[in-house]
Amino acid sequence: MSGDRIILGTAKIGMPSYGFSSESNHVSYYDLFCKASELGVLTLDTSPRYGNAEELIGAYHKKNDRKFLISTKVDNLIPNDKDSESAIFNSVKNSINKAGVSHIEELYLHQNEMGIISDSKIISSLLKLKNIGMVKKIGVSIYNYEECKFSLESDVYDMVQIPINIMDTNIYSRLVKNNTFSTKEIIARSVFLQGIMFNSKKANNKVSHIEEIDEYMVSMKLLSKKYKIDLPSLAFAFAYNMPSVSKVIVGTSSTDNLDKIIKSTKIQLPSLLISNIRIMSDEYKVWGNPRNW
Ligand SMILES: NC(=O)c1ccc[n+]([C@@H]2O[C@H](COP(=O)([O-])OP(=O)(O)OC[C@H]3O[C@@H](n4cnc5c(N)ncnc54)[C@H](OP(=O)(O)O)[C@@H]3O)[C@@H](O)[C@H]2O)c1
């Protein structure tokens, strides 16, 4: 099914002001999840940090026999803490109960710092949860080169979540593209950079570097026009078809935009278009990371 490599993000479901939305019609969490299921989306990405998103997933599951696979996170860990094991266990147990599932399919550390992702107490606790079947796979969501290199080289992590989008393929191009880490699943996130690439007017007073972002997008709009592919479809297809990417996380609370995303899974971008984008996206940009806005 075309949605099976798509993971639907729920940050905006639990925190409605998250990101920069389109003018499209936004639906309730329930209608969105029904549509996602109908389109073949198998996995929801959530976190205890995303407001009541896990509870809303649980509410959906109560009314539907077909359950989503759940990708969630564990947060607020402290390096070298003797209590990490119980903190992680309790967090995962809570997530399972709230989301109404038998286990967590994918568990990420929500903190990306080296002190957390390389902490031996945290790592052994994660492995224990995997051994007892509470969690199937464990992963990290990284923000820089060093974190990515460590995660890819580690024997522990099954999945590495990386920002990959038409504005930023810097980490991908430096570390992932040659795919010498074929045992890892590479998950693309921020494929629309929180929506700022299409809806930047909503960001004017909130985001520094907005001029650079808008200027960059002028080039993308020209490419979109030249190749006659609308910008959201181009942006999605670019990340989705990146050779080493296993799955793509997308955020939307519009069934129309979700439909469009699923349709874009069929798009093959011309290789010249991809090269033109990569010349620009491979370069490091301080504004590629929303934490620097
Ligand atoms: N692990 C981590 O540290 C981490 C960090 C960030 C995010 N995430 C996960 O990733 C998910 C996605 O977050 P993200 O920051 O990466 O967001 P994103 O997917 O890059 O962008 C989402 C935004 O794009 C807009 N959008 C989607 N389709 C569009 C279209 N066709 N036209 C115009 N706008 C469109 C959405 O607005 P509409 O609702 O109007 O469609 C939404 O505001 C989150 O929900 C979360 O689950 C994880």
The number of beta carbons lying within 10 Å of the beta carbon of residue 22 is 17
Amino acid 3: pLDDT: 87
Q: DSSP assignment of the chain, as one string? A: -GGGGEEEE-HHHHSTTSS---SSPP--HHHHHHHHHHTT--EEE--TTSTTHHHHHHHHHHH-SSPPEEEEEE----TT-TTHHHHHHHHHHHHHHHHT-SSEEEEEES---HHHHT-HHHHHHHHHHHHTTSEEEEEEE--SHHHHHHHHH-SS-SEEEEE-BTTB-HHIIIIITT---TTSEEEEE-TTGGGTTT-GGGGTTT-TTHHHHHHHHHHHHHHHHHTT--HHHHHHHHHHT-TTEEEEEEE-S-HHHHHHHHHHTT----HHHHHHHHHHHTS--GGGSGGG-
Amino acid 183: pLDDT: 74
Amino acid 200: pLDDT: 84
Q: What is the phi/psi pair of residue 262, to 5°?
A: -65, -40
Q: Which regions in the chain score pLDDT beneath 70?
A: 1, 178-182
Number of domains in the chain: 1
The number of beta carbons lying within 10 Å of the beta carbon of residue 164 is 27
Amino acid 203: pLDDT: 82
- Residue 284 is which amino acid? Y
CA of 191 to the centre of ligand 1 (A): 7
Atom of ligand 1 nearest to the CA of 250: 19
Structure tokens at 189: 């996130």
CA of 165 to the centre of ligand 1 (A): 12
Residue nearest to atom 41 of ligand 1 (CA): 252
CATH number of the domain bearing residue 187: 3.20.20.100
The number of beta carbons lying within 10 Å of the beta carbon of residue 290 is 14
CA of 80 to the centre of ligand 1 (A): 33
pLDDT tens figures, 100-138: 999 999 999 999 999 999 999 999 999 999 999 999 999
Q: How far apart are CA 189 and CA 288, in angstroms?
A: 12
pTM (2 d.p.)? 0.96
The CA angle 165-53-81, to the nearest 5 degrees, is 85
Amino acid 202: pLDDT: 85
Tell me the CA distances in angstroms from 102 to 10, 68, 94, 135, one per residue in order. Answer: 19, 11, 12, 10
CA of 97 to the centre of ligand 1 (A): 25
Q: How far is CA 282 from the centre of its chain?
A: 19
Pocket of ligand 1 (CB under 6 A): 9-12, 19-22, 24, 26, 45, 108, 141, 161, 189-195, 198-199, 232, 249-254, 257, 260
pLDDT tens figures, 150-160: 999 999 999 99
272 Cβ contact partners less than 8 Å away, ≥ 6 residues apart: none
183 Cβ contact partners less than 8 Å away, ≥ 6 residues apart: none
Pocket of ligand 1, candidates 190, 221, 291: which has the most ligand atoms within 8 Å of its Cβ, to mutate?
A: 190
CA of 249 to the centre of ligand 1 (A): 8
Q: 198 is in which domain, residue-wise?
A: 2-292
8 A C-beta contact, residue 85 and residue 123: no
CA of 283 to the centre of ligand 1 (A): 22
Atom of ligand 1 nearest to the CA of 108: 1
Atom of ligand 1 nearest to the CA of 45: 47
Amino acid 175: pLDDT: 86
Residue nearest to atom 23 of ligand 1 (CA): 195
CA of 27 to the centre of ligand 1 (A): 15
Residue nearest to atom 29 of ligand 1 (CA): 257
8 A C-beta contact, residue 229 and residue 222: no
